[in-house]
Copies of this chain bind each other. A is one copy, B any other.
Protein backbone atom coordinates (compact mmCIF):
# COMPACT_ATOMS: atom_id res chain seq x y z
CA UNK A 1 0.00 0.00 0.00
CA UNK A 2 1.14 3.52 -0.73
CA UNK A 3 0.49 6.46 1.53
CA UNK A 4 -1.58 9.60 0.88
CA UNK A 5 1.70 11.36 0.21
CA UNK A 6 2.39 8.89 -2.59
CA UNK A 7 -1.06 9.52 -4.02
CA UNK A 8 -0.32 13.22 -4.06
CA UNK A 9 3.10 12.83 -5.66
CA UNK A 10 1.83 10.37 -8.25
CA UNK A 11 -1.19 12.51 -9.07
CA UNK A 12 0.92 15.63 -9.29
CA UNK A 13 3.25 13.94 -11.74
CA UNK A 14 0.33 12.70 -13.82
CA UNK A 15 -1.39 16.10 -13.76
CA UNK A 16 1.79 17.85 -14.76
CA UNK A 17 2.12 15.70 -17.84
CA UNK A 18 -1.59 16.00 -18.56
CA UNK A 19 -1.52 19.78 -18.37
CA UNK A 20 1.58 19.95 -20.51
CA UNK A 21 0.12 17.65 -23.16
CA UNK A 22 -3.16 19.58 -23.23
CA UNK A 23 -1.30 22.87 -23.36
CA UNK A 24 0.68 21.80 -26.38
CA UNK A 25 -2.39 20.18 -27.97
CA UNK A 26 -0.47 16.92 -28.04
CA UNK A 27 -3.49 14.67 -28.14
CA UNK A 28 -1.46 11.48 -28.55
CA UNK A 29 0.33 12.21 -25.31
CA UNK A 30 -2.94 13.06 -23.57
CA UNK A 31 -4.52 9.74 -24.45
CA UNK A 32 -1.32 7.93 -23.51
CA UNK A 33 -1.98 9.16 -19.96
CA UNK A 34 -5.25 7.19 -19.92
CA UNK A 35 -5.65 3.45 -19.72
CA UNK A 36 -6.45 1.87 -23.06
CA UNK A 37 -10.10 1.61 -21.97
CA UNK A 38 -9.97 4.63 -19.69
CA UNK A 39 -12.91 7.01 -19.24
CA UNK A 40 -13.29 10.77 -19.35
CA UNK A 41 -16.63 11.91 -18.03
CA UNK A 42 -17.24 15.55 -18.82
CA UNK A 43 -20.03 17.67 -17.43
CA UNK A 44 -20.20 20.76 -19.64
CA UNK A 45 -16.59 21.88 -19.07
CA UNK A 46 -15.02 20.44 -22.24
CA UNK A 47 -17.96 19.25 -24.32
CA UNK A 48 -20.72 21.77 -23.53
CA UNK A 49 -22.60 18.54 -23.16
CA UNK A 50 -22.86 15.69 -20.69
CA UNK A 51 -20.69 12.95 -22.11
CA UNK A 52 -18.67 9.97 -21.04
CA UNK A 53 -15.88 9.31 -23.50
CA UNK A 54 -14.96 5.67 -23.30
CA UNK A 55 -11.47 4.63 -24.41
CA UNK A 56 -8.55 6.49 -25.89
CA UNK A 57 -10.02 6.99 -29.34
CA UNK A 58 -13.20 8.57 -28.03
CA UNK A 59 -11.14 10.91 -25.86
CA UNK A 60 -8.91 11.85 -28.77
CA UNK A 61 -11.91 12.57 -30.99
CA UNK A 62 -13.41 14.92 -28.39
CA UNK A 63 -10.14 16.77 -27.93
CA UNK A 64 -9.62 17.12 -31.67
CA UNK A 65 -13.03 18.75 -31.89
CA UNK A 66 -13.09 20.90 -28.76
CA UNK A 67 -9.68 21.38 -27.18
CA UNK A 68 -8.82 24.57 -28.99
CA UNK A 69 -12.16 26.15 -28.03
CA UNK A 70 -11.86 25.19 -24.40
CA UNK A 71 -8.30 26.32 -23.54
CA UNK A 72 -7.92 24.51 -20.24
CA UNK A 73 -5.30 25.83 -17.84
CA UNK A 74 -4.25 26.29 -14.27
CA UNK A 75 -4.68 22.66 -13.21
CA UNK A 76 -4.06 22.01 -9.55
CA UNK A 77 -4.55 19.25 -7.03
CA UNK A 78 -6.93 19.99 -4.18
CA UNK A 79 -6.29 16.74 -2.34
CA UNK A 80 -5.24 13.18 -3.04
CA UNK A 81 -6.21 9.93 -1.37
CA UNK A 82 -5.55 6.23 -1.79
CA UNK A 83 -8.61 4.20 -2.55
CA UNK A 84 -8.59 0.45 -2.13
CA UNK A 85 -6.89 -1.90 -4.60
CA UNK A 86 -4.15 0.39 -5.81
CA UNK A 87 -6.31 3.25 -7.06
CA UNK A 88 -5.04 6.76 -6.38
CA UNK A 89 -7.67 9.47 -6.42
CA UNK A 90 -6.94 13.15 -6.83
CA UNK A 91 -9.33 16.08 -6.64
CA UNK A 92 -8.57 18.67 -9.27
CA UNK A 93 -9.28 22.29 -9.95
CA UNK A 94 -8.87 23.85 -13.37
CA UNK A 95 -9.92 26.70 -15.59
CA UNK A 96 -11.14 26.92 -19.12
CA UNK A 97 -11.43 30.02 -21.25
CA UNK A 98 -15.04 30.36 -20.18
CA UNK A 99 -15.05 29.18 -16.61
CA UNK A 100 -13.70 27.36 -13.62
CA UNK A 101 -14.14 23.68 -12.91
CA UNK A 102 -13.34 20.82 -10.62
CA UNK A 103 -12.67 17.20 -11.27
CA UNK A 104 -11.59 13.85 -9.94
CA UNK A 105 -8.99 11.58 -11.53
CA UNK A 106 -8.54 7.97 -10.48
CA UNK A 107 -5.17 6.50 -11.40
CA UNK A 108 -4.11 2.90 -11.67
CA UNK A 109 -0.46 2.13 -12.34
CA UNK A 110 0.18 5.73 -13.21
CA UNK A 111 -2.55 5.98 -15.86
CA UNK A 112 -6.03 7.46 -15.64
CA UNK A 113 -8.70 4.87 -15.23
CA UNK A 114 -11.37 7.56 -14.94
CA UNK A 115 -11.37 11.33 -15.17
CA UNK A 116 -14.29 13.57 -14.28
CA UNK A 117 -14.32 17.22 -15.32
CA UNK A 118 -17.18 19.48 -14.42
CA UNK A 119 -17.89 23.17 -14.95
CA UNK A 120 -18.64 25.04 -11.73
CA UNK A 121 -18.90 28.67 -12.73
CA UNK A 122 -18.51 31.06 -15.65
CA UNK A 123 -15.84 33.72 -15.52
CA UNK A 124 -17.34 37.16 -15.22
CA UNK A 125 -20.70 35.67 -14.22
CA UNK A 126 -19.86 34.31 -10.79
CA UNK A 127 -22.82 33.82 -8.51
CA UNK A 128 -23.41 36.53 -5.95
CA UNK A 129 -22.97 34.43 -2.85
CA UNK A 130 -20.54 34.10 0.03
CA UNK A 131 -17.82 36.66 -0.49
CA UNK A 132 -19.68 37.99 -3.53
CA UNK A 133 -23.07 38.20 -1.84
CA UNK A 134 -25.05 41.37 -2.59
CA UNK A 135 -24.89 44.25 -0.12
CA UNK A 136 -28.70 44.48 -0.04
CA UNK A 137 -28.58 48.23 0.07
CA UNK A 138 -26.28 50.71 -1.55
CA UNK A 139 -25.11 53.00 1.17
CA UNK A 140 -25.42 56.64 0.51
CA UNK A 141 -28.77 58.17 -0.09
CA UNK A 142 -30.39 58.63 -3.47
CA UNK A 143 -33.67 60.24 -4.20
CA UNK A 144 -36.74 58.05 -4.63
CA UNK A 145 -34.93 54.76 -5.02
CA UNK A 146 -37.25 51.79 -4.93
CA UNK A 147 -36.91 49.61 -1.89
CA UNK A 148 -36.42 45.86 -2.17
CA UNK A 149 -40.12 45.05 -2.09
CA UNK A 150 -41.01 47.68 -4.68
CA UNK A 151 -38.28 46.43 -7.02
CA UNK A 152 -39.45 42.87 -6.59
CA UNK A 153 -43.06 43.79 -7.21
CA UNK A 154 -42.10 45.77 -10.29
CA UNK A 155 -40.11 42.86 -11.67
CA UNK A 156 -42.93 40.41 -10.95
CA UNK A 157 -45.46 42.64 -12.67
CA UNK A 158 -43.31 43.23 -15.75
CA UNK A 159 -41.83 39.79 -16.43
CA UNK A 160 -43.80 37.98 -19.07
CA UNK A 161 -45.45 41.21 -20.22
CA UNK A 162 -43.21 44.25 -20.75
CA UNK A 163 -40.12 42.08 -20.41
CA UNK A 164 -39.69 38.56 -21.75
CA UNK A 165 -38.04 35.78 -19.77
CA UNK A 166 -34.95 34.23 -21.31
CA UNK A 167 -36.10 30.87 -20.07
CA UNK A 168 -39.44 29.24 -19.28
CA UNK A 169 -39.61 26.13 -17.13
CA UNK A 170 -42.68 23.95 -17.47
CA UNK A 171 -43.31 22.35 -14.09
CA UNK A 172 -42.66 23.71 -10.62
CA UNK A 173 -41.72 20.65 -8.59
CA UNK A 174 -38.28 20.16 -7.10
CA UNK A 175 -36.71 20.06 -10.55
CA UNK A 176 -38.18 23.32 -11.80
CA UNK A 177 -37.57 25.00 -8.47
CA UNK A 178 -33.93 23.94 -8.15
CA UNK A 179 -33.22 25.03 -11.71
CA UNK A 180 -35.16 28.25 -11.19
CA UNK A 181 -33.05 29.05 -8.15
CA UNK A 182 -29.80 28.44 -10.03
CA UNK A 183 -30.97 30.65 -12.90
CA UNK A 184 -32.06 33.39 -10.52
CA UNK A 185 -28.61 33.36 -8.99
CA UNK A 186 -27.10 33.59 -12.46
CA UNK A 187 -29.44 36.47 -13.30
CA UNK A 188 -31.16 34.63 -16.13
CA UNK A 189 -34.75 35.99 -16.29
CA UNK A 190 -36.95 32.94 -15.87
CA UNK A 191 -40.59 32.05 -15.27
CA UNK A 192 -41.60 28.73 -13.77
CA UNK A 193 -45.05 27.47 -14.75
CA UNK A 194 -46.90 25.34 -12.20
CA UNK A 195 -50.40 24.02 -12.72
CA UNK A 196 -51.19 23.72 -9.00
CA UNK A 197 -52.29 26.50 -6.68
CA UNK A 198 -49.25 26.57 -4.40
CA UNK A 199 -45.62 25.60 -4.74
CA UNK A 200 -45.23 22.17 -3.19
CA UNK A 201 -48.70 20.96 -4.19
CA UNK A 202 -47.19 18.38 -6.53
CA UNK A 203 -46.06 16.69 -3.30
CA UNK A 204 -49.06 17.55 -1.14
CA UNK A 205 -51.49 16.13 -3.71
CA UNK A 206 -49.96 12.67 -3.61
CA UNK A 207 -51.07 9.75 -1.43
CA UNK A 208 -51.38 10.58 2.23
CA UNK A 209 -48.79 8.11 3.51
CA UNK A 210 -46.05 9.25 1.12
CA UNK A 211 -42.72 9.83 2.83
CA UNK A 212 -39.40 10.19 1.04
CA UNK A 213 -37.59 6.87 0.79
CA UNK A 214 -34.25 8.68 0.40
CA UNK A 215 -32.63 10.21 3.48
CA UNK A 216 -32.24 13.90 4.22
CA UNK A 217 -28.51 14.09 3.50
CA UNK A 218 -29.19 13.02 -0.08
CA UNK A 219 -32.09 15.41 -0.60
CA UNK A 220 -30.80 18.95 -0.01
CA UNK A 221 -31.76 21.62 -2.48
CA UNK A 222 -29.08 24.09 -3.56
CA UNK A 223 -28.40 27.19 -1.41
CA UNK A 224 -30.63 26.34 1.58
CA UNK A 225 -29.83 22.95 3.05
CA UNK A 226 -32.46 21.34 5.22
CA UNK A 227 -31.94 22.33 8.85
CA UNK A 228 -30.31 19.99 11.34
CA UNK A 229 -33.66 19.09 12.87
CA UNK A 230 -35.08 17.92 9.53
CA UNK A 231 -36.30 14.31 9.68
CA UNK A 232 -34.32 11.61 7.94
CA UNK A 233 -37.33 10.67 5.85
CA UNK A 234 -39.44 13.74 5.14
CA UNK A 235 -43.24 13.44 4.87
CA UNK A 236 -44.73 14.76 1.64
CA UNK A 237 -46.54 17.75 3.15
CA UNK A 238 -43.41 18.89 4.93
CA UNK A 239 -41.51 18.76 1.64
CA UNK A 240 -44.39 20.72 0.12
CA UNK A 241 -44.08 23.46 2.76
CA UNK A 242 -40.32 23.58 2.30
CA UNK A 243 -40.65 24.05 -1.46
CA UNK A 244 -43.23 26.80 -0.95
CA UNK A 245 -40.88 28.59 1.44
CA UNK A 246 -37.96 28.07 -0.91
CA UNK A 247 -39.75 29.67 -3.86
CA UNK A 248 -40.52 32.71 -1.72
CA UNK A 249 -37.14 33.11 -0.11
CA UNK A 250 -35.20 32.53 -3.32
CA UNK A 251 -37.45 35.12 -5.00
CA UNK A 252 -38.40 32.93 -7.95
CA UNK A 253 -40.81 34.11 -10.61
CA UNK A 254 -43.22 31.27 -10.12
CA UNK A 255 -46.60 31.35 -11.80
CA UNK A 256 -49.11 29.18 -9.96
CA UNK A 257 -52.41 27.89 -11.38
CA UNK A 258 -50.77 28.10 -14.76
CA UNK A 259 -50.85 25.52 -17.51
CA UNK A 260 -48.62 25.44 -20.52
CA UNK A 261 -51.06 24.97 -23.37
CA UNK A 262 -49.01 25.27 -26.57
CA UNK A 263 -45.42 25.94 -27.50
CA UNK A 264 -43.89 26.46 -30.93
CA UNK A 265 -40.33 27.21 -31.91
CA UNK A 266 -39.44 29.78 -34.54
CA UNK A 267 -36.17 28.65 -36.13
CA UNK A 268 -35.51 32.09 -37.59
CA UNK A 269 -35.81 34.15 -34.43
CA UNK A 270 -34.62 31.17 -32.35
CA UNK A 271 -37.45 31.89 -29.99
CA UNK A 272 -40.36 30.01 -28.50
CA UNK A 273 -43.91 31.18 -28.50
CA UNK A 274 -45.43 29.67 -25.35
CA UNK A 275 -49.15 29.99 -24.70
CA UNK A 276 -50.08 29.63 -21.09
CA UNK A 277 -53.37 29.73 -19.24
CA UNK A 278 -52.71 31.63 -16.03
CA UNK A 279 -55.54 31.72 -13.54
CA UNK A 280 -57.91 31.52 -16.47
CA UNK A 281 -56.18 34.17 -18.61
CA UNK A 282 -54.20 33.49 -21.75
CA UNK A 283 -50.63 34.86 -21.79
CA UNK A 284 -48.07 34.33 -24.53
CA UNK A 285 -44.44 34.15 -23.48
CA UNK A 286 -41.47 34.44 -25.82
CA UNK A 287 -38.44 32.82 -24.20
CA UNK A 288 -35.30 31.69 -25.98
CA UNK A 289 -35.28 28.42 -24.07
CA UNK A 290 -37.94 26.06 -22.85
CA UNK A 291 -37.23 23.48 -20.15
CA UNK A 292 -39.55 20.58 -19.40
CA UNK A 293 -39.35 19.74 -15.72
CA UNK A 294 -42.67 18.00 -15.48
CA UNK A 295 -41.74 15.36 -12.95
CA UNK A 296 -39.05 12.90 -11.97
CA UNK A 297 -40.12 10.94 -15.03
CA UNK A 298 -42.86 11.49 -17.62
CA UNK A 299 -46.66 11.37 -17.82
CA UNK A 300 -48.51 8.44 -16.17
CA UNK A 301 -48.41 5.16 -18.08
CA UNK A 302 -51.84 3.60 -17.98
CA UNK A 303 -52.22 -0.11 -18.69
CA UNK A 304 -54.81 -1.03 -21.34
CA UNK A 305 -57.34 -3.15 -19.44
CA UNK A 306 -59.81 -5.08 -21.63
CA UNK A 307 -63.35 -4.91 -20.33
CA UNK A 308 -62.75 -1.86 -18.18
CA UNK A 309 -65.94 -0.23 -19.43
CA UNK A 310 -67.97 -2.95 -17.73
CA UNK A 311 -66.20 -2.49 -14.38
CA UNK A 312 -68.58 -1.33 -11.66
CA UNK A 313 -65.82 -0.08 -9.38
CA UNK A 314 -63.17 2.61 -9.56
CA UNK A 315 -60.01 2.32 -11.62
CA UNK A 316 -57.24 4.92 -11.81
CA UNK A 317 -53.50 5.50 -12.03
CA UNK A 318 -51.42 5.49 -8.87
CA UNK A 319 -50.54 9.16 -9.39
CA UNK A 320 -54.15 9.98 -8.53
CA UNK A 321 -54.34 7.80 -5.42
CA UNK A 322 -54.81 9.80 -2.21
CA UNK A 323 -55.88 7.50 0.64
CA UNK A 324 -57.64 4.28 1.48
CA UNK A 325 -60.15 6.05 3.68
CA UNK A 326 -63.12 5.18 1.47
CA UNK A 327 -62.11 1.54 1.05
CA UNK A 328 -62.64 -0.05 4.47
CA UNK A 329 -63.45 -3.73 3.85
CA UNK A 330 -63.32 -3.24 0.07
CA UNK A 331 -61.51 -5.52 -2.38
CA UNK A 332 -58.60 -3.57 -3.79
CA UNK A 333 -56.34 -4.65 -6.61
CA UNK A 334 -53.04 -2.88 -7.02
CA UNK A 335 -51.54 -3.53 -10.43
CA UNK A 336 -47.76 -3.29 -10.19
CA UNK A 337 -45.05 -4.33 -7.78
CA UNK A 338 -42.77 -1.33 -7.39
CA UNK A 339 -42.55 1.63 -4.98
CA UNK A 340 -45.97 3.19 -5.48
CA UNK A 341 -47.63 -0.23 -5.52
CA UNK A 342 -46.10 -1.06 -2.15
CA UNK A 343 -46.89 2.29 -0.53
CA UNK A 344 -50.46 2.24 -1.80
CA UNK A 345 -51.07 -1.40 -0.87
CA UNK A 346 -49.82 -0.67 2.65
CA UNK A 347 -51.97 2.45 2.92
CA UNK A 348 -55.06 0.51 1.79
CA UNK A 349 -54.28 -2.20 4.33
CA UNK A 350 -54.00 0.42 7.07
CA UNK A 351 -57.54 1.48 6.32
CA UNK A 352 -58.77 -2.10 6.51
CA UNK A 353 -59.12 -2.83 2.81
CA UNK A 354 -58.53 -6.33 1.40
CA UNK A 355 -55.55 -5.81 -0.86
CA UNK A 356 -54.04 -7.92 -3.60
CA UNK A 357 -50.92 -6.79 -5.42
CA UNK A 358 -50.50 -8.03 -8.96
CA UNK A 359 -46.77 -8.23 -9.52
CA UNK A 360 -46.17 -8.49 -13.24
CA UNK A 361 -42.40 -8.86 -13.14
CA UNK A 362 -39.80 -9.33 -10.39
CA UNK A 363 -38.94 -6.43 -8.12
CA UNK A 364 -35.68 -5.33 -6.53
CA UNK A 365 -36.43 -4.87 -2.83
CA UNK A 366 -33.91 -3.52 -0.35
CA UNK A 367 -34.55 -2.89 3.30
CA UNK A 368 -34.27 0.81 4.07
CA UNK A 369 -31.92 0.25 7.03
CA UNK A 370 -29.61 -1.83 4.90
CA UNK A 371 -29.55 0.65 2.06
CA UNK A 372 -28.89 3.55 4.44
CA UNK A 373 -25.90 1.76 5.88
CA UNK A 374 -24.38 0.08 2.85
CA UNK A 375 -25.57 2.38 0.07
CA UNK A 376 -25.74 5.91 1.48
CA UNK A 377 -23.53 6.08 4.52
CA UNK A 378 -20.19 6.73 2.85
CA UNK A 379 -21.44 9.83 1.01
CA UNK A 380 -24.76 10.98 2.44
CA UNK A 381 -25.04 10.57 6.22
CA UNK A 382 -24.06 12.09 9.55
CA UNK A 383 -20.97 9.91 9.29
CA UNK A 384 -20.04 11.51 5.98
CA UNK A 385 -20.58 14.96 7.52
CA UNK A 386 -18.25 14.00 10.38
CA UNK A 387 -15.70 12.91 7.77
CA UNK A 388 -15.90 16.38 6.24
CA UNK A 389 -17.70 15.30 3.07
CA UNK A 390 -19.98 18.14 2.06
CA UNK A 391 -23.02 17.51 -0.10
CA UNK A 392 -21.17 19.07 -3.05
CA UNK A 393 -18.21 16.75 -2.43
CA UNK A 394 -20.49 13.74 -2.26
CA UNK A 395 -22.16 14.72 -5.53
CA UNK A 396 -18.75 15.02 -7.16
CA UNK A 397 -17.58 11.63 -5.86
CA UNK A 398 -20.80 10.07 -7.06
CA UNK A 399 -20.44 11.67 -10.48
CA UNK A 400 -16.83 10.53 -10.85
CA UNK A 401 -17.76 6.92 -11.57
CA UNK A 402 -18.76 6.42 -15.22
CA UNK A 403 -22.03 4.60 -15.79
CA UNK A 404 -20.19 1.81 -17.60
CA UNK A 405 -18.17 1.04 -14.48
CA UNK A 406 -20.98 1.47 -11.95
CA UNK A 407 -22.60 -1.99 -12.30
CA UNK A 408 -19.40 -3.77 -11.21
CA UNK A 409 -19.43 -1.91 -7.91
CA UNK A 410 -23.16 -2.31 -7.51
CA UNK A 411 -23.04 -6.07 -8.14
CA UNK A 412 -20.61 -6.38 -5.23
CA UNK A 413 -22.89 -4.24 -3.06
CA UNK A 414 -25.95 -6.31 -3.86
CA UNK A 415 -24.13 -9.55 -3.16
CA UNK A 416 -23.41 -8.12 0.27
CA UNK A 417 -27.01 -6.95 0.73
CA UNK A 418 -28.41 -10.27 -0.36
CA UNK A 419 -26.19 -12.11 2.14
CA UNK A 420 -26.93 -9.82 5.01
CA UNK A 421 -30.71 -9.88 4.51
CA UNK A 422 -30.93 -13.53 3.46
CA UNK A 423 -33.63 -14.33 6.02
CA UNK A 424 -35.70 -11.34 4.94
CA UNK A 425 -35.56 -12.31 1.27
CA UNK A 426 -36.33 -15.97 1.99
CA UNK A 427 -39.39 -15.05 4.00
CA UNK A 428 -40.60 -12.55 1.42
CA UNK A 429 -40.21 -15.05 -1.43
CA UNK A 430 -42.26 -17.63 0.50
CA UNK A 431 -45.29 -15.38 0.13
CA UNK A 432 -45.03 -15.77 -3.64
CA UNK A 433 -43.47 -12.34 -4.16
CA UNK A 434 -40.74 -12.44 -6.79
CA UNK A 435 -37.40 -10.77 -6.13
CA UNK A 436 -34.57 -9.92 -8.47
CA UNK A 437 -31.56 -7.65 -8.44
CA UNK A 438 -31.77 -6.79 -12.10
CA UNK A 439 -30.66 -8.74 -15.15
CA UNK A 440 -26.99 -8.35 -14.21
CA UNK A 441 -27.56 -8.45 -10.43
CA UNK A 442 -26.58 -4.77 -10.15
CA UNK A 443 -29.54 -3.86 -7.99
CA UNK A 444 -31.74 -0.91 -7.23
CA UNK A 445 -29.73 2.12 -8.26
CA UNK A 446 -28.87 0.75 -11.67
CA UNK A 447 -32.55 -0.07 -12.23
CA UNK A 448 -33.40 3.49 -11.26
CA UNK A 449 -30.82 4.96 -13.63
CA UNK A 450 -31.60 2.60 -16.50
CA UNK A 451 -35.39 2.46 -16.33
CA UNK A 452 -36.65 4.53 -13.39
CA UNK A 453 -38.65 1.59 -12.12
CA UNK A 454 -38.61 -1.98 -10.88
CA UNK A 455 -37.70 -1.45 -7.23
CA UNK A 456 -38.92 -0.78 -3.71
CA UNK A 457 -36.99 0.51 -0.70
CA UNK A 458 -38.72 -1.40 2.04
CA UNK A 459 -40.13 0.74 4.82
CA UNK A 460 -42.65 -1.83 6.02
CA UNK A 461 -44.83 -3.11 3.20
CA UNK A 462 -42.61 -6.16 2.64
CA UNK A 463 -43.52 -7.40 6.10
CA UNK A 464 -47.21 -7.05 5.22
CA UNK A 465 -46.57 -9.17 2.14
CA UNK A 466 -44.50 -11.70 4.06
CA UNK A 467 -47.17 -12.09 6.73
CA UNK A 468 -49.92 -12.25 4.07
CA UNK A 469 -51.67 -9.07 5.21
CA UNK A 470 -51.27 -8.01 1.60
CA UNK A 471 -51.91 -10.81 -0.88
CA UNK A 472 -49.68 -11.14 -3.93
CA UNK A 473 -50.30 -12.65 -7.33
CA UNK A 474 -47.04 -12.79 -9.18
CA UNK A 475 -45.98 -13.32 -12.79
CA UNK A 476 -49.44 -12.61 -14.11
CA UNK A 477 -51.24 -9.80 -15.91
CA UNK A 478 -54.88 -8.75 -15.90
CA UNK A 479 -56.50 -10.58 -18.83
CA UNK A 480 -59.78 -8.77 -18.50
CA UNK A 481 -61.85 -6.71 -16.14
CA UNK A 482 -65.38 -7.82 -15.33
CA UNK A 483 -68.17 -6.11 -13.44
CA UNK A 484 -66.91 -6.89 -9.94
CA UNK A 485 -63.63 -8.67 -10.51
CA UNK A 486 -60.51 -9.01 -12.56
CA UNK A 487 -59.54 -12.15 -14.46
CA UNK A 488 -55.81 -12.85 -14.53
CA UNK A 489 -53.72 -14.48 -17.24
CA UNK A 490 -53.44 -17.66 -15.14
CA UNK A 491 -57.22 -17.97 -15.33
CA UNK A 492 -57.82 -17.07 -11.68
CA UNK A 493 -60.24 -14.34 -10.67
CA UNK A 494 -60.03 -11.69 -7.98
CA UNK A 495 -63.01 -9.78 -6.59
CA UNK A 496 -62.38 -6.07 -7.14
CA UNK A 497 -64.06 -2.87 -6.02
CA UNK A 498 -61.04 -0.75 -6.87
CA UNK A 499 -58.15 -1.12 -9.30
CA UNK A 500 -55.12 1.12 -8.79
CA UNK A 501 -52.74 1.05 -11.74
CA UNK A 502 -49.27 1.47 -10.23
CA UNK A 503 -47.94 0.98 -13.72
CA UNK A 504 -45.31 3.68 -13.84
CA UNK A 505 -44.66 6.61 -16.08
CA UNK A 506 -43.91 7.25 -19.71
CA UNK A 507 -40.74 8.83 -21.01
CA UNK A 508 -40.56 12.59 -20.41
CA UNK A 509 -40.54 13.35 -24.14
CA UNK A 510 -44.16 12.21 -24.29
CA UNK A 511 -45.07 15.27 -22.19
CA UNK A 512 -43.81 17.35 -25.11
CA UNK A 513 -46.27 15.88 -27.60
CA UNK A 514 -49.52 17.56 -26.48
CA UNK A 515 -47.79 20.91 -25.96
CA UNK A 516 -45.38 21.18 -28.87
CA UNK A 517 -46.05 18.32 -31.28
CA UNK A 518 -45.69 14.59 -31.83
CA UNK A 519 -42.95 15.43 -34.33
CA UNK A 520 -40.81 17.23 -31.78
CA UNK A 521 -41.47 14.53 -29.18
CA UNK A 522 -40.18 11.98 -31.68
CA UNK A 523 -37.35 14.19 -32.88
CA UNK A 524 -35.84 14.49 -29.40
CA UNK A 525 -36.62 10.86 -28.60
CA UNK A 526 -36.86 9.09 -25.32
CA UNK A 527 -35.51 10.52 -22.09
CA UNK A 528 -33.58 8.65 -19.42
CA UNK A 529 -31.96 5.26 -19.85
CA UNK A 530 -28.38 4.53 -20.79
CA UNK A 531 -28.92 2.10 -23.63
CA UNK A 532 -27.78 -0.71 -21.38
CA UNK A 533 -29.59 -3.41 -23.34
CA UNK A 534 -31.72 -4.59 -20.45
CA UNK A 535 -35.53 -4.78 -20.40
CA UNK A 536 -36.98 -1.27 -20.82
CA UNK A 537 -33.55 0.19 -21.64
CA UNK A 538 -32.69 -1.08 -25.13
CA UNK A 539 -29.32 -0.39 -26.73
CA UNK A 540 -27.24 0.91 -28.33
CA UNK A 541 -25.13 1.95 -25.36
CA UNK A 542 -25.13 5.72 -24.86
CA UNK A 543 -23.31 6.05 -21.58
CA UNK A 544 -25.33 8.96 -20.13
CA UNK A 545 -29.04 9.42 -19.41
CA UNK A 546 -30.67 10.34 -22.68
CA UNK A 547 -31.64 14.00 -23.16
CA UNK A 548 -31.35 14.99 -19.53
CA UNK A 549 -29.85 18.39 -18.64
CA UNK A 550 -28.08 18.76 -21.99
CA UNK A 551 -28.74 19.87 -25.55
CA UNK A 552 -31.33 17.85 -27.47
CA UNK A 553 -32.05 17.49 -31.17
CA UNK A 554 -34.52 20.35 -30.80
CA UNK A 555 -32.73 23.68 -30.38
CA UNK A 556 -33.91 25.57 -27.32
CA UNK A 557 -35.59 22.53 -25.76
CA UNK A 558 -34.24 20.96 -22.58
CA UNK A 559 -35.27 18.35 -20.03
CA UNK A 560 -34.70 18.53 -16.29
CA UNK A 561 -35.85 15.91 -13.84
CA UNK A 562 -34.99 13.21 -11.38
CA UNK A 563 -35.06 12.91 -7.63
CA UNK A 564 -33.91 15.64 -5.26
CA UNK A 565 -30.26 14.62 -5.61
CA UNK A 566 -30.25 14.81 -9.38
CA UNK A 567 -32.33 18.00 -9.35
CA UNK A 568 -29.77 19.60 -7.04
CA UNK A 569 -26.65 18.51 -8.86
CA UNK A 570 -27.61 18.77 -12.52
CA UNK A 571 -29.59 22.00 -12.14
CA UNK A 572 -26.24 23.80 -11.89
CA UNK A 573 -24.96 22.24 -15.10
CA UNK A 574 -28.12 23.07 -17.01
CA UNK A 575 -28.18 26.58 -15.59
CA UNK A 576 -24.59 27.20 -16.68
CA UNK A 577 -25.41 26.05 -20.21
CA UNK A 578 -28.36 28.45 -20.37
CA UNK A 579 -26.41 31.35 -18.87
CA UNK A 580 -23.56 30.83 -21.34
CA UNK A 581 -26.04 31.05 -24.19
CA UNK A 582 -27.68 34.15 -22.76
CA UNK A 583 -24.28 35.82 -22.57
CA UNK A 584 -23.49 34.63 -26.11
CA UNK A 585 -20.41 32.72 -25.05
CA UNK A 586 -19.16 30.12 -27.50
CA UNK A 587 -20.73 26.80 -26.51
CA UNK A 588 -19.44 24.23 -29.03
CA UNK A 589 -21.53 21.15 -28.24
CA UNK A 590 -19.55 17.97 -28.75
CA UNK A 591 -21.31 14.75 -29.64
CA UNK A 592 -24.95 15.75 -29.72
CA UNK A 593 -26.78 12.49 -29.11
CA UNK A 594 -28.45 10.72 -32.06
CA UNK A 595 -31.94 9.43 -31.35
CA UNK A 596 -32.53 5.67 -31.29
CA UNK A 597 -35.86 5.44 -29.49
CA UNK A 598 -38.96 7.53 -29.49
CA UNK A 599 -40.66 6.58 -26.22
**Taking the complex as formed, is A460 at the interface, i.e. its CB lies under 8 A from any CB of chain B?**
yes
How many residues from A make CB contacts under 8 Å with B?
A: 63
A142 to B231, CA, bound (A): 19
- Cβ 8 A contact of A223, one of B136, B211, B229, B237: B229
Indicate if the CB atoms of A227 and B224 lie closer than 8 Å: yes
**Taking the complex as formed, is A230 at the interface, i.e. its CB lies under 8 A from any CB of chain B?**
yes
A458 to B212, CA, bound (A): 49
For chain A, residues 124 to 174, give those with C-beta under 8 angstroms from any C-beta of chain B: 127-131, 133-137, 139-145, 147-150, 152
**Taking the complex as formed, is A350 at the interface, i.e. its CB lies under 8 A from any CB of chain B?**
yes
Which of chain B's residues have a CB closer than 8 A to the CB of A238?
136, 148-149
A152 to B237, CA, bound (A): 10
For chain A, residues 354 to 374, give those with C-beta under 8 angstroms from any C-beta of chain B: 368-369
* Number of copies of this protein chain within its complex: 2
A234 to B231, CA, bound (A): 29
A141-B349, A245-B249 known; A232 and B148 CB under 8 Å?
A: no
Query: Of all chain B residues, which has the CB nearest A469?
Result: B141
Indicate if the CB atoms of A350 and B235 lie closer than 8 Å: no
Indicate if the CB atoms of A136 and B233 lie closer than 8 Å: yes
Indicate if the CB atoms of A350 and B249 lie closer than 8 Å: no
**Taking the complex as formed, is A216 at the interface, i.e. its CB lies under 8 A from any CB of chain B?**
yes
Indicate if the CB atoms of B135 and A232 lie closer than 8 Å: yes
The smallest C-beta distance from A411 to any residue of chain B, in angstroms, reads: 26
For chain A, residues 217 to 268, give those with C-beta under 8 angstroms from any C-beta of chain B: 223-224, 227-238, 241-242, 244-245, 248-250
Indicate if the CB atoms of B232 and A241 lie closer than 8 Å: no
Indicate if the CB atoms of B459 and A139 lie closer than 8 Å: yes
Indicate if the CB atoms of A228 and B129 lie closer than 8 Å: yes
**Taking the complex as formed, is A442 at the interface, i.e. its CB lies under 8 A from any CB of chain B?**
no
Which of chain B's residues have a CB closer than 8 A to the CB of A208?
147, 149-150
The smallest C-beta distance from A72 to any residue of chain B, in angstroms, reads: 27
A460 to B368, CA, bound (A): 57
- Cβ 8 A contact of A211, one of B137, B211, B234, B349: B137
- Cβ 8 A contact of A245, one of B131, B135, B245, B458: B245
**Taking the complex as formed, is A507 at the interface, i.e. its CB lies under 8 A from any CB of chain B?**
no
Indicate if the CB atoms of A350 and B141 lie closer than 8 Å: yes
Which of chain B's residues have a CB closer than 8 A to the CB of A211?
136-137, 148
The smallest C-beta distance from A320 to any residue of chain B, in angstroms, reads: 18
